[in-house]
Amino acid sequence: MKVKVISRSADEFTRERSQDLQRVFRNFDPNLRSQEKAVEYVRALNAAKLDKIFARPFIGAMDGHIDAVSCMAKNPNHLKGIFSGSMDGDIRLWDLATRRTVRQFSGHQGAVRGLTASTDGHVLVSCGTDCTVRLWRVPVATIMESNDSSDMSADPLAVYVWKNAFWAVDHQWDGNLFATAGAQVDIWDHNRSQPVNSFEWGKDTVVSVRFNPGEPNLLATSASDRSITIYDLRMSSPARKLITRTKTNSISWNPMEPMNFTAANEDCNCYSYDARKLNEAKCVHQDHVSAVMDIDFSPTGREFVTGSYDRTVRIFQYNGGHSREIYHTKRMQRVFCVKFSCDASYVISGSDDTNLRLWKAKASEQLGVLLPRERKKHEYLEAVKNRYKHLPEVKRIVRHRHLPKPIYKAASLRRIMAGAEKRKEDRRRAHSAPGSRPKEAFRKKRILQEVE
């Protein structure tokens, strides 16, 4: 005779301590869970709504400058440090954790137009409209973390005087050279008081310069003659030049895909290009309603932040046509510079109202240490939202943003104008001889010519 008995070990379901969680056994057979999709949809809906409730992106403002903040630079050697320069010639090193000034670098007689830190983070390079390049020693991390503020000011290591004003500066990602932009592009060495090389293509002022993160000898510049130029330090002349319809204010290379860069343009859009194929933009990022002043990629290379003359900061996916996030406050004026933090968790903006502002890169992200269960819960809700993001209700909640009235009206007006222009062009094409007015791709429309 065979007798079947239920046998189970007490260790499987008994708690070791009273504080432990009760173990729950689940059967994931889809036949037993007929409402699984409906339940997950409701969870996705609730997660999207909770994201809106907990969206508090603004962390705090750092005030101390007495004029507009014109440029910023990250310290590659120290996660919490950021440099800022203002229109009155003041340069400051900030501690993001405490939001206070750690060190002041005084010496420029005019506006500071460019800041950059060396590869090892030990030297800060600044340039401005007073025709000087100044090198400063960056305080070590231990000084930054101490509360001793007895010696706040610092003297420059070197001062190089040149013939014309500077508009931007950038340091090689790997090497001892840095480039300044002004009447021409000058390449400098830390130990030389004269430029080691100079490039010139045209007579207009160069307004921004950025070195390539993957190839140390490659750099891109934009100039006031509406051009974007790529230079190779190993060649005696500039490599390629792209002329667009409007001026490019700033350029940023994608750190994870160093052949791609994104340009912040005066026509309210950003354009992503492949440096190997400049006759067409890879993607057009549009949402701003005024000139885009600055741009910076996240260290992950998956998104970038832009600051605009319309007093807003926006975060875009690297391949997204519209912004995923918009940040604004009543007090924030025209944004001249933006930076992603080195860990991609925060965004720093500098604006006309003399303040630097610290924002979360993910508006509803929970700050502080997360328990393993909390982290798992957040990951699950993110996955569920991603699974049902195409459904109308979830999509509507995730996309919705409250905009300031002037920006809402300006965006509405831009849509009306773009629609009218498109209808006009369609009618012209319809009443013209077939093939006489070919359709022009939106990604090629703003490009006038490419010069080799």
Q: Which backbone phi and psi does 421 adopt, to 5 degrees?
A: -65, -40
Q: Residues of the chain with pLDDT > 70: what percent?
A: 97
pLDDT surpasses 90 at 405: yes
pLDDT band at 9 (very low <50, low <70, confident <90, very high): confident
Return mean pLDDT, the chain.
91
pLDDT digits (tens, 9 = 90+) for 130-176: 999 999 999 886 556 666 555 567 888 899 998 889 999 999 998 89
pLDDT at 95 over 90: yes
Structure confidence by residue, pLDDT tens digits, 114-133: 999 999 889 999 999 999 99
pLDDT average, residue stretch 258-263: 96
pTM reported for the whole predicted model: 0.90
Residue-wise pLDDT tens digits, 304-326 = 999 999 999 999 999 999 999 99
Q: Average of pLDDT values for 84-104?
A: 93
What's the 3-state SS for the chain?
Answer: CCCCCCCCCHHHHCCCCCCCCCCCCCCCCCCCCCCHHHHHHHHHHHHHHHHHHCCCCEEEEEECCCCCEEEEEECCCCCCEEEEEECCCEEEEEECCCCEEEEEEECCCCCEEEEEECCCCCEEEEEECCCEEEEEECCCHHHHHCCCCCCCEECEEEEEECCCCCCEEEECCCCCEEEEECCCEEEEECCCCCCCEEECCCCCCEEEEEECCCCCCEEEEEECCCEEEEEECCCCCCCEEEEECCCEEEEEECCCCCCEEEEEECCCEEEEEECCECCCCCEEEECCCCCEEEEEECCCCCEEEEEECCCCEEEEECCCCCEEEEECCCCCCCEEEEEECCCCCEEEEEECCCEEEEEECCCCCCCCCCCHHHHHHHHHHHHHHHHCCCCHHHHHHHHCCCCCHHHHHHHHHHHHHHHHHHHHHHHHHHCCCCCCCCCCCCCCCCEEEEEC
Q: Please, what are the domains in the chain?
A: 58-363 (2.130.10.10)
